[in-house]
C-alpha cells in the first residue's frame, strides 16, 4: 500500500489499530512475572581500619518484588586469600523494600597480617588486594542462605585507612 493510501484510511481504523498495538504491547510486558525467592546480592562498599579493628560497610540489594527481612548475618572476610576477620550481627532485623538496597556497617577484630596487607595497599606498594566474603544470611525468620562474594579493594586517595 503506498504511503498516500495509508493517509486516506479513516480515523476510526487508525485509532483501532493503535489500541490493538497498545494492548498487544501491554500483554507482553516484562512486569507480568513477579520475582520471588531470589537471594539478595551483597557488595563490599568500603573497608576502614580503626586502630586494630576493621569496619566494613556492606550493601545488600533485594532483587525480589516483595520486601525481604534479614534477621542476621555472619561473614568470614578474607583479604589476599588470608582470613581477615569475622563479622556478625545476630539481631540485624533489617527490612529491605521490594527491589531496594540497604547499607549496614559491621566491625570486626583485625589481625597483624591483615593490617600488614592493608599497609602495603595504603602505601601504594600494591594497586589492589583481592577479597572474599563467605556469608550466612538468615532471611524472613525461617531460612538460612549461604553465598560467597569476591572482588578487589583499592585505597581511597587522601584517606590512608579507607579502602573500596
**62 lies in the same domain as 17:** no
User: What CATH number does the domain containing 55 carry?
Assistant: 2.60.40.1820
**61 lies in the same domain as 96:** yes
**26 lies in the same domain as 78:** no
**26 lies in the same domain as 70:** no
Query: What pLDDT is stored for residue 26 in this prediction?
Result: 65
By residue range, what is the domain housing residue 22?
3-32
**11 lies in the same domain as 50:** no
Query: What pLDDT is stored for residue 62 in this prediction?
Result: 97
pLDDT in tens, 3-13: 555 555 677 77
Count structural domains, the chain: 2
**58 lies in the same domain as 18:** no
Query: What pLDDT is stored for residue 1 in this prediction?
Result: 52
pTM of the predicted structure, to 2 decimals = 0.77
Rounded to whole angstroms, what are the CA distances from 49 to 55, 78, 110, 149, 157? 6, 15, 8, 21, 15
Partners of 107 in beta bridges: 55
Q: What residues contact residue 132 under an 8 Å CB cut-off, 6+ apart?
A: 77, 78, 81, 148, 149, 150, 151
pLDDT in tens, 105-140: 999 999 899 999 999 999 999 999 999 999 999 998
Query: What pLDDT is stored for residue 36 in this prediction?
Result: 83
Give CA–CA dist 117/149, Å, rounded. Answer: 20
Mean pLDDT over the full length of the chain: 89
Query: What pLDDT is stored for residue 23 in this prediction?
Result: 73
Partners of 1 in beta bridges: none
Amino acid at each position: 500500500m503506498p504511503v498516500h493510501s495509508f493517509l486516506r484510511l479513516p480515523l476510526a481504523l487508525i485509532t483501532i489499530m493503535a489500541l490493538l498495538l497498545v494492548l498487544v504491547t501491554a500483554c507482553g510486558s516484562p512486569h507480568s512475572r513477579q520475582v520471588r525467592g531470589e537471594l539478595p546480592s551483597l557488595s563490599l562498599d568500603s573497608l576502614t581500619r580503626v586502630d586494630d579493628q576493621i569496619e566494613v560497610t556492606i550493601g545488600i540489594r533485594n532483587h525480589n518484588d516483595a520486601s525481604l527481612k534479614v534477621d542476621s548475618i555472619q561473614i568470614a572476610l578474607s583479604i589476599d586469600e588470608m582470613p581477615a576477620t569475622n563479622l556478625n550481627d545476630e539481631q540485624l532485623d533489617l527490612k529491605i523494600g521490594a527491589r531496594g538496597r540497604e547499607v549496614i556497617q559491621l566491625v570486626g577484630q583485625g589481625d597483624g597480617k591483615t593490617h600488614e596487607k592493608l599497609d602495603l595497599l595504603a602505601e601504594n606498594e600494591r594497586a589492589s588486594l583481592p577479597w572474599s566474603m563467605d556469608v550466612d544470611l538468615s532471611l524472613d525468620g525461617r531460612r538460612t542462605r549461604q553465598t560467597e562474594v569476591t572482588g578487589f579493594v583499592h585505597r581511597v586517595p587522601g584517606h590512608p585507612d579507607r579502602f573500596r
